[in-house]
A and B are shown apart, each in its own frame.
Chain A
Amino acid sequence: MNSRIGLIASNTFREAVRDRVLYNLIAFALLMSGAAILVGQISIDIERLVVINLGLTAVSLFGIVIAIFIGIGLVSKEIERRTLYTVLSRPVRRWEFIAGKFMGLAGTLVVNAFFMAIGVFAALLYVSHHFQASDRWLLVALYFIILQFLIITSLALFFSSFSSPLMAAVFAFALFVIGTFAEDLRGFGAMAKGVVRWLATGAAYLVPNFSALNVISSVAHQRPVSGQLILYNTAYALIYTLMAVCGAVLIFERRNLK
């Protein structure tokens, strides 16, 4: 990573911190402690299941929402406010700007997820008083969640490079929702006929496959995650992200600034 990308990334991180993005952690902490206390009172067997499911789902949703809402503004806000003029008139290439912005937000999300993960583990410890060997799969689930963040951030960046922030948010969120059901869509495509089959299958492969990246309920039931899936998901997410970021760069390279 060259120094300019690093500088842009750390400035993006600084912006997120100063804009109080990390305050979402307070809401998350309240949610986790509330859930832990409540679950601890009502049941004896399923506390772990509930805490893991609820905790990891919250980690994922909080992050996705932040990724979309900051992601759509990463570039468009700088064009709109003309803060880019004094950046791009320096020896900064446009692709470096995009790369720096992307990494800054990705870094923010990772830091945010790190603190939330601590919250999940703390809640888990509170309800079950000790960790189990199978809890290490939680780390894999968290890793997959971070891969989801990368994909959704790159999509938000991509959509915002040619459409209004609002439309970009709608597109990115729609892809997230459809992507969550990507596997169902594939199943449906396999069963359908004619044009519908063609459309459903095409869409299923175009949207990011968040089904495969979601192993929350599986790890909540203490089932291990295969090394093959880890490898496959990593490659898939990195390629998907890279393509979306490159798409954003290609559009941005040609763009006249307002």
Chain B
Amino acid sequence: MTAIEILGLEKTYNVGFWRKRPKCALRPLHMQVEEGEIFGFLGPNGAGKTTTLKLLMGLVFPTSGSARILGMETHDPRMRAQIGFLPEQPYFYDYLTARELLEYYAGLSGVPAKERSRRSQEMLERVGLHDAGGLQLRKFSKGMLQRVGIAQAILHEPKVVFFDEPMSGLDPMGRREVRDLMDQLRQEGKTVFFSTHILSDAEALCDRVAIIHLGELRGIGSVADLTSSAQNRVELIWQGPSVPSSLRALGAEPHIAGSTVRATLLEANQDAAIEALRRERLRLISVVPVRASLEDYFVQKLKPTEAVAGGRQ
């Protein structure tokens, strides 16, 4: 079944104080996300990711077009009970403690009163905040707020979760934890839709991604599809000072650093190269495919129209 259906959503803001000028944040967007997917919504800053999410959440109204989530309209409360949303740089009632906030939100989402406290505690543990549950949110760091934000988004066991830049403000450990959590959510059968401007976050995780730039969809598909066009190469690393001459013949360009050597070559020559190393009794350390990264795709996709405005952060 289709989890999210976006049918020509379009948003034009009127900016300027005296003379209003229209500013197109999102051109008519058509796309679908299937149930059970982790879907990455990629684009540089200002691409229209947050605008799309706000439209889906009913926080702003579209200039035209519509969307359906789980087959229901965006303002349908029955649908809202089955989704979770983490806003970009979330901010919460800072006079509440993390536990109070979660219990309040559980109530608003229709979790029965008896279960609210248990559910909140579970969520605090799940996002690694069990020690901070009694602390007022005004004392939370940015990374902790991000965790609270994730907890409140999954608190009521939604079927579809929407995360806007879920890894921002987190340290590398935190990013990994969030990645693992999204993976768990998928294993629980949930649909995860998240936006990011950091490609590596999406690459390791997503079933499919969409790429958006200046409010326009530039590509959609699996990471493998989007990146397979590039020539596939592998990187070999081995130990030992020498480089077999047969390897050079295969087109490898070795880099020697102390006693380890690193070389990349075409995937087609991989087996021959490994065989050559074995013959010389050199210790193979790793063989890693070097796919064209999503980053390459990104650069390539964004280039044709204009030199990436503002750059990719």
Contact = CB atoms under 8 A, between A and B. Distances in A.
B90 A89 contact: no
Interface residues of A, number: 25
Contacts of A92: 77, 80, 108
B91 A81 contact: yes
A88 B95 contact: no
A14 B95 contact: yes
A4 B81 CA distance: 13
A90 B109 contact: yes
Contact of A256 (B60, B81, B104, B110): B60
Contacts of A3: 107
B255 interface: no
A90 B54 contact: no
Contacts of A15: 93, 95
Contacts of A89: 57-59, 80, 83, 85
Contacts of A257: 54, 59-60
Contacts, number: 72
A91 B109 contact: yes
Nearest to A93: B77
A7 B101 CA distance: 12
A258 B54 CA distance: 10
Nearest to B107: A7
A257 to B, nearest CB: 4
B108 A87 contact: yes
B85 A91 contact: no
A93 B60 CA distance: 14
A4 B93 contact: no
12 contacts: A3-B107, A7-B104, A7-B108, A14-B96, A19-B95, A82-B91, A86-B90, A86-B149, A86-B153, A90-B109, A256-B60, A257-B59
Nearest to B81: A91
B105 interface: yes
